[in-house]
Amino acid sequence: MLIQENVPLAPLTTLKVGGPARYFVEAKTISEVHDAVGYARAQGLPLFVLGGGSNLVVSDAGWPGLVLKVSIPAIEEHDEDGKVVFDVGAGVDWDKFTARAVARNCAGVECMSGIPGSVGGTPVQNVGAYGQEVAETIDSLQALDLRDCEVRELCNQACGFAYRTSIFNTTERGRYIILRVSYALTPGGEPHIAYADLKKYFAGRTSKPSLAETREAVRQIRASKAMLIVPGDEDCRSAGSFFKNPVLSAEQYRELIERAAARGLQIPSYPALDAQKKISAAWLVEHSGYSKGYSSGPVGISRKHALAIVNRGRATAADVLALKEHIQDRVQEIWGIRLEPEPVLLGF
Ligand SMILES: Cc1cc2nc3c(=O)[nH]c(=O)nc-3n(C[C@H](O)[C@H](O)[C@H](O)COP(=O)(O)OP(=O)(O)OC[C@H]3O[C@@H](n4cnc5c(N)ncnc54)[C@H](O)[C@@H]3O)c2cc1C
């Protein structure tokens, strides 16, 4: 196990801000994960588990403890009850796995093509896009339980998946290190074409799109919104969507409609959001004076996506957090709703 010191974390994140890790270890096996945890405990260091750094804002001061980057590789597959089960190491790049699943003509993750980050990061916030989320296909996962340092197998139900949440970012935050995830996919299954963007992409087609065509469509749509990482494109130097779509009570929703009417506006209706009683955070942000392309010194909003706070170069974590707070305050003042950030804030 190689323990490195004062390792810059900004290059290991997609937003590219923040200071160093006091100690840093990259673990490629379960035994290396065990060793790293043992080292942190022996030294009394706080532990942070890093995947692909795509849902993360690191503070300018960095992290005073040990950052453990989980890089467990390998994808294995077997047939089970008519499904193909892919057992995937937590360190595998998520998009590489979706490419492999689609190449094997297995349905269930095609709409999540192009999401950055690691496989081990996907259960944490129950990653989803274009009408699919990993909760639908995760069969089980293997995790190191930090309570007793035992490796456990958690079935789908035990993970407590809901919109952008699981036990891993709520009730059991910090308890588990995810080592391997098993996805049960449908061989020869049809692609899931439910979202408006995808329907529009394939409009006018008489034949059903294949899984490979759906993957390509999703990647193209994502690229047009800077939601696909393209090196050098500052519009995707972000942590993805910075705010969650708020879920409102009936009373909050009524109040929002009244506030909109007073401004001569109507709350837009999106079938996919309506079904989950959510409203569009992007609409709230855009109607609070922060439109696409907004700039405030080295930070701003992506020219292609209203919810992505971007680092236009040389931004600090403090710049990012200041813009986040301005947006939250303004949205609250105008619409009476406090937006909740989606990325994990480390070391603040
Ligand atoms: C351009 C862009 C587009 C995006 N689009 C989407 C999208 O469409 N849908 C969506 O849901 N998300 C999206 N995201 C957010 C992000 O890609 C996902 O949340 C991703 O799954 C995070 O994985 P990661 O490996 O990068 O995690 P990290 O950012 O490294 O970590 C995030 C959290 O997960 C924890 N974690 C990571 N790995 C493990 C592990 N092995 N065990 C335990 N905990 C772990 C970390 O401790 C941290 O708390 C986007 C991000 C960007 C930058």
| 272-320 per-position pLDDT tens digit | 677 667 899 999 999 999 999 999 999 999 999 999 999 999 999 999 9
Instruction: Verify whether ligand 1 is closer than 6 Å to residue 156 (CB atom).
Output: no
For residues 28-45, average pLDDT: 98
pLDDT at 268: 86
47 pLDDT higher than 80 = yes
For residues 108-123, average pLDDT: 98
Which residues are identified as catalytic?
164, 241, 342
* pLDDT digit string, tens, across residues 63-75: 999 999 999 999 9
Rounded Cα gap, residues 5 and 21, in angstroms: 7
Q: Closest Cα to residue 139, out of 159, 120, 121?
A: 159
The residue nearest atom 8 of ligand 1, judged by CA position, is: 129
* pLDDT digit string, tens, across residues 6-30: 999 999 999 999 999 999 999 999 9
Amino acid identity for residue 177 in this structure? I
- List the domains of the chain with CATH numbers: 4-70 (3.30.43.10), 75-224 (3.30.465.10), 234-346 (3.90.78.10)
Instruction: Verify whether ligand 1 is closer than 6 Å to residue 21 (CB atom).
Output: no
Rounded Cα gap, residues 248 and 253, in angstroms: 6
pLDDT top residue among 277 and 31: 31
pLDDT at 226: 93
214 within 8 A of 191, measured Cβ to Cβ = yes
* pLDDT digit string, tens, across residues 124-164: 999 999 999 999 999 999 999 999 999 999 999 999 999 88
What spacing in Å lies between the alpha carbon of 120 and ligand 1's midpoint? 8
pLDDT at 263: 95
